[in-house]
A and B are shown apart, each in its own frame.
Chain A
Amino acid sequence: MQDHISRRLALKHFGLIAAGLAAACTPARVLVNAYPQTFDDDPELVDRVLRAFVTTVIPGAAADDPDLVRALTDPDYPFAQFAAFFAADLTRRGERRFGEPAFERLTPDQRAAVIRDGLEADATTRKMYNGAVTLAQVAFYAGIYDAQRGCALIGFEGGYHWHPLSEITYPDPALFLAAALTPDGNAA
């Protein structure tokens, strides 16, 4: 697990983003007040919550995949600085809505409802949830941490898999082709 930045720094970053958004945003302080210290102190708690989040966003993704939530906490990507806050926000919303203090113990439908809440909340929160969903999808479908692995769920093999020509094309291309306008592929 990567080194977590300090809570103070996370709040500062979050505040900077919030400051740049529309005045209609819920004040960052309201959200920030619901950020328990335990999410900075317990990386395993954050990992559990984020795994429950990603498997809700991508049903069918293996919950025990070692790379499943890596992008969300990878210090090379900006989201990492919000990971603990984000996990706390998922937890807070889940408890408020369903009375369950552990996000990962919610049913898949309940978790999806929590994520929808975040995606429909104020502009700052929407941006954070939207970024988390998309980053999780990019990392999972593209297989960004293992060049050769790809993503079996969508049939993406990743790199370094050679295919014979017979697998790349069809044996009877003339059946597909339309009339050509040019003799050599260049328009006049």
Chain B
Amino acid sequence: MKTIQTDVLVIGTGFGAAAPALRLAQAGAKVVMIEKGPRVQTADFRQTSDPKYVLKYLKGTPGDNLKLTYAEALGGGSGFYEMISLRAPSLAFEQLDDDGRLLWPADVDRRSLDPYYDLAERMLHVSQIPVEEIPKTGLVFAHLMRNLGYSVDRCRYAVRGCQGSGFCVTGCVYGAKQSLFLNYLPQAVSAGAEIETDLEALAIEPLPARWRVGAPLRDVPYRYRVTARRRTGERELVAFVARVVILGGGTVGTAKLLLASRPYLPKLSEHVGRHIAYNGSVKVAALLPDGVPDADMFTGRTHPGMVSYQFLGSHGITVHAVKAMPLMLVSAAHLRLRDEPQAAFWGAPNVELMKQLRHRMIILDAFGLTPPGAALQVRAGDARVALPITAQLRVYHAETKRILESILVRNGCRLVETDFLDKTFMPRQGIQFSTAHQVGSCRMADAKEHGVVDASGAVFDYPGLYVSDGSAIPSSLAVNTSLTILANAERIAAGLIERYRLPLPGGSQAQAA
């Protein structure tokens, strides 16, 4: 088996992995990144609804009452996200668990993250959408909210030169969306980092080693061996020996890897794979009444430009409109008008409904501060997620749905029933959540009895092993998670540079400070 020695091994290339790789490489460390998915660039993307293309990159973790979606490709989810880049509201950092304990470590809150948000925003060219570029659906959403006296804010995006094609989620063919392979990753390579794709980490083993506490990186011995396997070709095994290992493979990937490594890491926290938060997305659809201008489901950036914080303080939710391409919509739900309960989800009534999809249908979506109640279960390498539907969650779902429906009904909209489907296209019963905002499977905490890593991202009881991705984020955020994951990863990277006495790279924590 080929063995590669490196100062730092970063597992993953997404939002949680890119910042530590770049900053440590800039600081002079030898950095290797490994990515399970394929190498992609702008030229690889297609504006298509071919499921075979979409499923090449987007993967799902099925489960009970919750379904997770994530990307496997260079840059992780950054190639396929809607480029929404919002800071988590302060309220998100103030959430408590059932025992009244803060979910976030004491040192990490919005204020402490703000300098790293600044840094991440500069790297991704994040800015608020100009008024004159708000897509029609966003304007119609704002119009509905204004009719009721509610507030709406223009959203923020990581994009330069958006062409408004509506195909953000299949990858931006214009290179306008700021995916990580346009910024962090090439800069990391320029700084000396190496990136290996098509390589899946299988297990982490500690090596026998002794070192002086607080030693600089050059004096720290090789402490971990990570075994990985090529996913194509001869599927050969490759071993990496590293002084520091940073896990950035995402909420599902990092937890799976740590669980697979537990035989070698017996002191791992019992919380690995647990406490997954998911932003409790609740969606409601309706047809617009006469007199309201047309929306447009298919043109303009995928996220329609506006977000409402009207109910954040009172209900812990943000509200926005959703645009969905036919592939995503029809494969996700059967649609029927609520006031025509006998109408089938197929045939002439359905065709008439589908004809109104582009211009007359509006879909509202709420993200909420739902508690981190889901857990990952891995059997024979296959992951499932389980979310118990508690009384608290039922109340949240019902109340959130009531708010969304009320917005629509009071505007004269006709509600559309959305019967969400499982992977065999059968309607799911009961409350079902789906998300790409899963976080928390290896959450930060002040002590091992509450989490997997400390506030610096260090895995409890395993010096030199860190988690810097969404799995370390301990709570729902009520907004898209990518910017917070990136900002927290920048914060962890700054801590690593300080801890291992590396020289300050220009533009990292110096700017953040």
Q: Which residues of A contact B (CB under 8 A)?
A: 56-60, 76, 112, 115-116, 119, 126-127, 130-131, 133-135, 137-138, 141-145, 147, 150-151, 153-160, 162-163, 165, 167-170, 173-174, 176-182, 184-188
Contact A184 B132 (CB under 8 A): no
B283 at the interface (CB under 8 A from A): no
A151 to B358, CA, bound (A): 11
A142 touching B421 in the complex, CB below 8 Å, given contacts A169-B132, A173-B132: no
Q: Which residues of B contact A (CB under 8 A)?
A: 46-52, 86-87, 89-91, 128-129, 131-136, 139-140, 142-143, 145-146, 150-156, 163-165, 167, 170, 293, 296, 298-300, 307-310, 312, 318, 325-327, 330-331, 334, 344-348, 350-351, 354-355, 357-359, 421, 424-426, 479
Contact A185 B153 (CB under 8 A): yes
Total contacts A-B at CB 8 Å: 182
Contact B139 A169 (CB under 8 A): yes
Q: In the assembled complex, which residues on chain A have CB atoms less than 8 Å from the CB atom of B170?
A: 159
- Indicate the member of A58, A144, A176 with the most B CB atoms within 10 Å: A176
Q: In the assembled complex, which residues on chain B have CB atoms less than 8 Å from the CB atom of A181?
A: 151, 153, 309-310
A133 to B214, CA, bound (A): 63
The residue from B51, B136, B145, B310 contacting A169, defined by CB atoms under 8 A apart: B136
Contact A176 B325 (CB under 8 A): no
Contact B50 A145 (CB under 8 A): yes
Tell me the smallest distance from the CB of A111 to a CB of chain B, in Å. 10
10 interchain residue pairs of minimum CB distance: A159-B47, A178-B146, A142-B327, A187-B89, A134-B425, A147-B48, A142-B49, A176-B139, A141-B326, A168-B300
A160 to B152, CA, bound (A): 31
Contact A144 B143 (CB under 8 A): no
Contact A154 B133 (CB under 8 A): no
- Indicate the member of B136, B154, B296, B425 with the most A CB atoms within 10 Å: B425
Q: Which chain A residue has the least Cβ–Cβ distance from B163?
A: A162
A155 to B296, CA, bound (A): 10
A147 to B133, CA, bound (A): 26
A sample of 24 inter-chain contacts (CB < 8 A) reads: A57-B347, A76-B52, A141-B330, A142-B49, A153-B354, A154-B326, A156-B326, A163-B164, A167-B299, A168-B133, A168-B164, A168-B296, A169-B139, A170-B136, A173-B131, A173-B132, A174-B131, A180-B152, A180-B153, A182-B153, A184-B156, A185-B307, A186-B156, A187-B153
Q: In the assembled complex, which residues on chain A have CB atoms less than 8 Å from the CB atom of B143?
A: 176, 178
A130 to B419, CA, bound (A): 13
Contact A157 B355 (CB under 8 A): no
Q: In the assembled complex, which residues on chain B have CB atoms less than 8 Å from the CB atom of A153?
A: 351, 354-355
Q: In the assembled complex, which residues on chain A have CB atoms less than 8 Å from the CB atom of B325?
A: 142, 156
Tell me the smallest distance from the CB of A129 to a CB of chain B, in Å. 10
Contact A155 B358 (CB under 8 A): yes
Q: Which chain A residue has the least Cβ–Cβ distance from B327?
A: A142
12 more contacts with CB within 8 A, not counting A56-B347, A156-B325, A173-B134, are A116-B344, A119-B344, A134-B331, A138-B51, A142-B326, A158-B48, A159-B49, A168-B135, A173-B139, A176-B134, A186-B156, A187-B90
Q: In the assembled complex, which residues on chain A have CB atoms less than 8 Å from the CB atom of B135?
A: 168-169
Contact A180 B146 (CB under 8 A): no
A165 touching B132 in the complex, CB below 8 Å, given contacts A112-B347, A153-B354, A178-B142: yes
The residue from B51, B87, B152, B164 contacting A178, defined by CB atoms under 8 A apart: B152
Contact A165 B133 (CB under 8 A): yes
Contact A147 B309 (CB under 8 A): no
Q: In the assembled complex, which residues on chain A have CB atoms less than 8 Å from the CB atom of B163?
A: 162
A59 to B353, CA, bound (A): 12
Q: In the assembled complex, which residues on chain B have CB atoms less than 8 Å from the CB atom of A58?
A: 346, 350-351
Contact B156 A59 (CB under 8 A): no
Q: In the assembled complex, which residues on chain B have CB atoms less than 8 Å from the CB atom of A158?
A: 47-49
Tell me the smallest distance from the CB of B147 to a CB of chain A, in Å. 9
A89 to B153, CA, bound (A): 54
A185 touching B165 in the complex, CB below 8 Å, given contacts A59-B348, A142-B327, A163-B299: no
A13 to B399, CA, bound (A): 43
Contact A162 B165 (CB under 8 A): yes
Q: In the assembled complex, which residues on chain B have CB atoms less than 8 Å from the CB atom of A163?
A: 164, 299-300
The residue from B48, B164, B354 contacting A159, defined by CB atoms under 8 A apart: B48
Q: Which chain A residue has the least Cβ–Cβ distance from B292?
A: A176
Q: Which chain A residue has the least Cβ–Cβ distance from B51?
A: A144
A177 to B47, CA, bound (A): 30
Contact B298 A157 (CB under 8 A): yes
Q: Which chain A residue has the least Cβ–Cβ distance from B48?
A: A147
Q: Which chain A residue has the least Cβ–Cβ distance from B88?
A: A187
Q: Which chain A residue has the least Cβ–Cβ distance from B354?
A: A154
Tell me the smallest distance from the CB of A174 to a CB of chain B, in Å. 7
A147 to B308, CA, bound (A): 34
Q: In the assembled complex, which residues on chain A have CB atoms less than 8 Å from the CB atom of B155?
A: 185
Tell me the smallest distance from the CB of A75 to a CB of chain B, in Å. 12
Contact B87 A144 (CB under 8 A): no
A170 to B326, CA, bound (A): 23
A185 touching B154 in the complex, CB below 8 Å, given contacts A59-B348, A155-B298, A176-B143: yes
Q: In the assembled complex, which residues on chain B have CB atoms less than 8 Å from the CB atom of A119?
A: 344
Contact A137 B151 (CB under 8 A): no
- Indicate the member of A59, A156, A160 with the most B CB atoms within 10 Å: A156
Q: In the assembled complex, which residues on chain B have CB atoms less than 8 Å from the CB atom of A174?
A: 131
Contact B298 A159 (CB under 8 A): no
Q: Which chain B residue has the least Cβ–Cβ distance from A123?
A: B426
Contact B128 A185 (CB under 8 A): yes
Contact B358 A130 (CB under 8 A): no
Q: In the assembled complex, which residues on chain A have CB atoms less than 8 Å from the CB atom of B152?
A: 177-180
Contact B309 A156 (CB under 8 A): no
Tell me the smallest distance from the CB of B334 to a CB of chain A, in Å. 7
Q: In the assembled complex, which residues on chain B have CB atoms less than 8 Å from the CB atom of A126?
A: 426
A167 to B346, CA, bound (A): 31
Contact A60 B331 (CB under 8 A): no
Q: In the assembled complex, which residues on chain B have CB atoms less than 8 Å from the CB atom of A169?
A: 132-136, 139, 300
Q: In the assembled complex, which residues on chain A have CB atoms less than 8 Å from the CB atom of B167?
A: 159
Q: In the assembled complex, which residues on chain A have CB atoms less than 8 Å from the CB atom of B358?
A: 154-156
